[in-house]
Each structure stands twice: as C-alpha cells, then as structure tokens.
Amino acid sequence: MTDLSLPGLPGALPDKRQVAASFSRAAASYDSVAELQRAVGNALLEQLPGAFEPQRWLDLGSGTGYFSRALNRRFPQAAGVALDIAEGMLLHAREQGGAHHHVAGDAERLPLRDASVELIFTSLAVQWCGDFRAVLSEARRVLQPGGVLAFASLCVGTLHELRESWQAVDGLVHVNRFRRLEDYQRLCGESELKVLGLQARPHVLHYPDVRSLTHELKALGAHNLNPGRPAGLTGRARMQGLLQAYERFRQPQGLPATYQVVYGVLQKPPVEGE
Ligand SMILES: C[S@@+](CC[C@H](N)C(=O)[O-])C[C@H]1O[C@@H](n2cnc3c(N)ncnc32)[C@H](O)[C@@H]1O
C-alpha cells in the first residue's frame, strides 16, 4: 500500500513480486480473518447501480474469490473473470468456483481486450497499486461504453493507531502507506470516467491486544511491505514499547484499528466525449 500523494518516490513503492508472494502465502489463512474485507466488499456490492445487469464482469484483485462467488450469485446469467497478481490466490479461488476464468495479471496493465467487460468490481486491492491513474485508465480501456467501475480502497488514516504507536517507539515505517482521499478525488475527476459516487467511511475493528492485530495482518498477507520497514524480528524491548504506546487508544471494546475506506462508483460514458 503506497501513498503516492508524494509524487516521485519510486523508492517507497512496495515491490509487486513481494506483494504477490505475500498474498500467495496468505491464501489458506485469508478467509478466516477477513472480517473487514467481507464488510467492505458487501458495502461495495450495495453501491452498484440498481437496474444494472452486466453480461461480463471482472473481479479485480479477486483474492480467494469470495466476491467472485457473490457476483456470480447476483448476476447468474453473466460470465465472470477473476484476476489477481498472486497466483496462490487464484489457485485457491479456482477450486471454489464463482468466476468462469481465472487470470494472473496486474491492475495497472490489464491483460484484457478493450471494451471487454461491463462491470469492474475491485474491493481492497488497488491500495496496493502505486499508479492509481494507470488503474483508472486501464479500467476505462477495458470497460464497454456505459460500463461501471466500483472500487473500495484504503486512504490515509488507515491503521493510524498502529502507525502512531510505532512512531512513539522508534519513528520507523511499520505500517503501509496510503494515498489521501483528495488524491482519489483528483485522480477520479481526471479519469474521463463519470464519478457517480465517491466517499470515505471509517470501519473500526477491535482487538484484545496488539498481537492479535499484527497476527491478523500477517494472516491476510497485508502486513508492512514498504521499503524502509525495519529488518528482522521485532526486539522484545521495542515490542514492549509498542504494546504500551497502543494502550492509550484502548476503548471498552478493546484496542481499535481504524480503516478509512474509500468507496468509488464510476461509469464510462455511454457515448465518447459525454
Ligand atoms: C486484501 S486482498 C482482497 C481480496 C478480495 N478482493 C476480497 O475482498 O476478499 C487484496 C488482493 O489484491 C491483490 N493485488 C494486489 N496488487 C494487485 C495488482 N497490482 N493487480 C492485481 N491484484 C493485486 C492481492 O494479491 C490480493 O489477492
């Protein structure tokens, strides 16, 4: 997850091979800890335009295929493609059905023909893409005129409790970086897609302790992959410092972890130039 609100920071991009390997390793554990991912994807499904009946959909960054199966149930007549950069995720998803085709690929360079789908659904995947402008431009290219891109992603403010707690301990980058909401707004506005809806909503999860949160991030494959992250194991004293620093956020329900989720629904104009 990369904050490209700071342009010209190529050294701060997570390596895509690392992202793919991390998610491939997480394929078996992912579904057991994906509470937030379920809530966000379901909220995104609810935002699809009402009378919309695509004949071909793409689940972009499909992971274990949970939402490919949901799309298949919602649009039983349609043909679906699940696409992910992590082959381990695709293998896992293929076994469980949902999509008709499983394709390895990158959201920034889709291996799909122009105007080949009517719906692109992408939940909690494009925060891993450094070049969101390229994601939008590829979406525009592969959508048919009138087609819809529905995305959910993360923006600045996500995991701020963990970030601030680490900051108090050693000032190093322990949490993935995120784009700002304003950057999503600007890039969507410049995309030649019509913005039907774009807003951010916080989702807050609670954990009994910090280790439950960090173990979950690892099981999801979503732990910190940024360059600049500290190498090796986390020392006992630093871990102790983290636990202490995080305690100041404690609420009656437990330790909060905030996710700032951006939901966007965009449409390719039915006629060029509209
Ligand atoms: C947090 S998971 C979400 C999976 C699924 N959409 C869900 O909501 O359960 C993110 C997925 O995005 C994939 N991903 C990350 N970067 C990608 C890229 N550049 N192109 C395609 N998929 C990518 C990861 O491999 C991973 O499977």
Write the pLDDT tens digit of every residue in 162-180. Answer: 999 988 888 776 777 899 9
Mean pLDDT calculated for residue range 154-163: 94
Shortest-distance Cα residue to atom 27 of ligand 1: 63
Please give the mean pLDDT across all residues of the chain.
Answer: 88
134 has a pLDDT exceeding 90: yes
Query: What does the DSSP assignment read for 21-69?
Result: HHHHHHHHHHGGG-HHHHHHHHHHHHTS-TT---SEEEEET-TTSHHHH
Nearest atom within ligand 1 for CA of residue 107: 20
Query: What pLDDT is recorded for position 231?
Result: 54
Q: How many whole angstroms from 83 Cα to the centroid of ligand 1?
A: 9
> Ligand 1 in contact with 124 (CB < 6 A)?
yes
Does the pLDDT at position 227 exceed 70? no
Query: Which residues are CB-neighbours of 184 under 8 A, at least 6 positions away?
Result: 132, 153, 155, 198, 262, 264
Domain residue spans of the chain: 16-160+176-206+259-267
- Expressed in angstroms and rounded, the spacing between residue 248 Cα and the centre of ligand 1 is 32
Ligand 1 atom closest to Cα of residue 23:
25
- For residues 53, 54, 58 and 61, what is the CA-based torsion angle, rounded to 10 degrees? -20
Please give the structure tokens belonging to residue 240: 């102790």
- pLDDT over 60 (residue 245): yes
Instruction: Say what the pLDDT of residue 218 is.
Output: 83
63 lines ligand 1 (CB under 6 A): yes
| pLDDT score of 21 | 87
CA of 90 to the centre of ligand 1 (A): 10
For a mutational test of ligand 1's pocket, the pick from 16, 18, 38, 62, i.e. the residue with the most ligand atoms closer than 8 A to its C-beta, is 62
Ligand 1 pocket check for 125: Cβ under 6 Å: yes
Contact, 117 vs 147, CB < 8 A? yes
Q: Is the CB of 178 under 6 A from ligand 1?
A: no
Q: Which of 30, 71, 85 should be mutated for ligand 1, with most atoms under 8 A from CB? A: 85
The pLDDT value recorded for residue 230 is: 59
Question: 30: Cβ below 6 Å to ligand 1?
Answer: no
CB 107 less than 6 A from any atom of ligand 1: yes
Question: 């494009």: which residue's tokens?
Answer: 126
Instruction: Kindly report the protein residue whose alpha carbon is nearest to atom 4 of ligand 1.
Output: 63
The answer to whether residue 12 scores a pLDDT higher than 90 is no
Q: Give SS3 for 269.
A: coil
pLDDT in tens, 105-116: 999 999 999 999
65 lines ligand 1 (CB under 6 A): no
Confidence band for 7, pLDDT divided at 50, 70 and 90? very low
Q: For residue 17, how far is its CA from the centre of ligand 1 (angstroms)?
A: 13
Q: Provide the CATH number for the domain formed by 16-160+176-206+259-267 in this structure.
A: 3.40.50.150
pLDDT band at 3 (very low <50, low <70, confident <90, very high): very low
274, pLDDT greater than 70: no
